[in-house]
Amino acid sequence: MIPPLHPIADAIRQHTRFLVTSHVNPDGDAIGSMLAMYWVLRTLDKEVVLFNESGLPRRFDWVIGGEAISSTLPDTKPEIIIVLDCGDIRRPGELLQPWLATLPIINLDHHLGNPHFGTYNWVDQRIAATGEMVGMIARVFGIPFSGPLGEALYLALTADTGDFCYNNTRPQTLEMAAEILRQGLQAGPFYERKLATGTLNQLRMRGEVLQNAQIFAGGRICLFRFTQELFHRTGTTAEDTEGLVNEGLTIRGVDVAVSLREDGHRIKFSLRSKGETNVQYIAAQFGGGGHRNAAGGAIPTANMDDALRLIVEAITAALEVPCNTTVFSS
């Protein structure tokens, strides 16, 4: 049994009014782990508010309970805040910072370099998804992975393992997935609902980005670019870029795929890698974070070409001197 699990279960027992949050621009693990925690707490007769500063992304509007996620803070303070899938305390966004500074926090996360910002911390980078941790908490309370809880957990697991393909897929991950299926979730219909959330505009925009892919470092880096001009012309938004960066890794010989996206006065980047190449180390150089094979952050420039030069330099340097060191965000 993992040591922090029981102190966290005790902290849940001892409190009544919870606020559950995750990072801005939530992914499937952020949404899935929030909703899974919601169903666990509801089963335990707790009061629970779900808060995400970005709200529920449209591509998750099919998930049961998604409408419970609010992008505005409730009028009354909770007793305790559960922060899910956040590598540091800034990740939930600005609105929540005053409460995060004054209320007790349960920090459940699996990002490299999480500085244990909570009152109660369970941080384990070996665990595939934060949702898997919530599932383990549900087990402590004897709550079965049925109905909406099973769906939320399955969303988290599939999101962070690339549908059980990435190296973070462990026997325990699949055992949890098996437990969810035994409780009635149907993998096919789930996958179809998750898959069919795009638009023709999105498909065409992504086609254009793929068409303009660039290669650097002798074929070891593949780079994609998303500009505001492209979004305007194709009727798409930043949300439509989700996951495209992974396509770069399909090229033989590419070790790192990177996408750059114009976002106001900064350029956001997303990194993916194969094998031992640690992109968390690269992202941390720009104040970002993530995992060994998937990380992201932002470069403080509005100029795409400047950002491109900086990120390609950093990746090239990392490829030349492989580094497995975890870098803590400042």
Closest-CA residue to 52 (of 100, 107, 92): 92
3-state secondary structure 83-120: EECCCCCCCCCCCCHHHHHHCCEEEEECCCCCCCCCCE
Beta strand pairing status for 214-216 and 221-226?
Answer: antiparallel
Binding mask 29-68 for Mn ion (x = CB under 5 A): x---------------------------------------
**Minimal distance, residue 25 CB to Mn ion, in Å:** 12
Nearer to Mn ion, 132 or 151 (CB): 132
Nearer to Mn ion, 85 or 151 (CB): 85
Q: How far apart are CA 42 and CA 289, in angstroms?
A: 32
Instruction: Look at residue 53 and give its three-state secondary structure.
Output: coil
Closest-CA residue to 106 (of 31, 33, 43, 24): 33
- The H or E element that residue 274 is part of is none
**Minimal distance, residue 32 CB to Mn ion, in Å:** 9
Nearer to Mn ion, 160 or 240 (CB): 160
**Minimal distance, residue 79 CB to Mn ion, in Å:** 25
Of the candidate residues 160, 179, 240, 255, the single one contacting Mn ion (CB under 5 A) = 160
**Minimal distance, residue 160 CB to Mn ion, in Å:** 5
Indicate whether 242 belongs to the interface with Mn ion (CB under 5 A): no
Closest-CA residue to 167 (of 127, 109, 113): 127
Binding mask 80-99 for Mn ion (x = CB under 5 A): -----x--------------
**Minimal distance, residue 84 CB to Mn ion, in Å:** 8
Beginning with the edge strand found earlier in the chain, give each strand of the sheet holding 266-273 in spatial order. Answer: 214-216, 221-226, 256-263, 266-273, 294-299, 289-290
Q: How far apart are CA 69 and CA 325, in angstroms?
A: 36
Nearer to Mn ion, 77 or 170 (CB): 170
**Minimal distance, residue 22 CB to Mn ion, in Å:** 9
Quote the crossing angle between the two packed helices 130-140 and 28-43, to the nearest 10°.
10
- Closest chain position to Mn ion (CB): 29
**Minimal distance, residue 41 CB to Mn ion, in Å:** 19
Binding mask 122-141 for Mn ion (x = CB under 5 A): --------x-----------
Question: Which residues contribute to the site for Mn ion (CB under 5 A)?
Answer: 29, 85, 130, 160
